Amino acid sequence: MGRTQKKRKRVYLQVDDIDLPMAPYQLAVSNLLPGDVEAPDWTSGTDAGFDQFLDQRFPREKFVEFRRALEGPNMLPYAAPSSKIVNYRLIILTRERWRAAAHINSIIASMTGTKRSPLRICEFCKNLFLARRNNQETCSEKCASGRRMARWRAKADEYESNRQRKKAAKEYQLRLELKGKRKSETQEKGGVMRWLRS
């Protein structure tokens, strides 16, 4: 008797699955919009209304990759024929869930004192990334440099005020010393004048 093999039914990943083989793709989808851009959900309306919404919120010149992904083939293999709205919802949901996972992992790690998850949000550009080191706070060297410069600029006012205060203190000290020297010189001259008169 020969064995018959059952053909496995193909199971597609759901939007909220964060599966390691799909992680690079989902991470790329999550970063199609910059981290500081708010993306509201599109709940109702026509395709023409959706196009107008996209043109107002996400102009083609500024969000090239995002618009290309929306207009490309469906990101969900089981969805109806190509739909910008389906792609938009997938991008927004994936983005929200990955960002929430990164925030929750960070909070849990800080509360329990355990090692942080590699899924993090860049402190400079606010994009999601997978950290290679435990102390990595930015997604690239460019962002690390920008973060250092931003911190330096934020402290520049403090440095400048400290420099001005020290400079004023030195000037005040010099004035006191000069005033003390003048006083002693006049006293010496006064003593010499009195001696000559006598």
The mean pLDDT values, 10 residues at a time, for the chain of 198 residues are: 56 42 78 88 76 90 90 69 79 91 89 87 92 89 94 86 89 82 60 54
Return the sign of the alpha-carbon dihedral for residues 76, 81, 87, 88: negative
Can you tell me the distance from the alpha carbon of 140 to that of 27, in angstroms, rounded to the nearest whole number?
Answer: 15
pLDDT at 187: 59
Q: Collect all residues with Cβ–Cβ distance below 8 Å to 89 and sequence separation of at least 6.
A: 41, 42
Structure tokens at 125: 């550009």
pLDDT at 182: 64
pLDDT at 48: 78
Can you tell me the distance from the alpha carbon of 108 to that of 93, in angstroms, rounded to the nearest whole number?
Answer: 22
Choose among 153, 113, 152: nearest CA to 134.
Answer: 113
pLDDT at 141: 94
pLDDT at 181: 67
Q: Where are the chain's structural domains?
A: 20-139, 140-198
pLDDT at 86: 82
Query: Quick one: how far is CA 91 from the chain centroid?
Result: 19
The residues with which 130 forms a beta bridge, in sequence order, are 119
Choose among 119, 112, 106, 103: nearest CA to 18.
Answer: 119
The residues with which 128 forms a beta bridge, in sequence order, are 121
Burial of 91: CB neighbours in 10 Å, binned 0-12, 13-18, 19+: buried
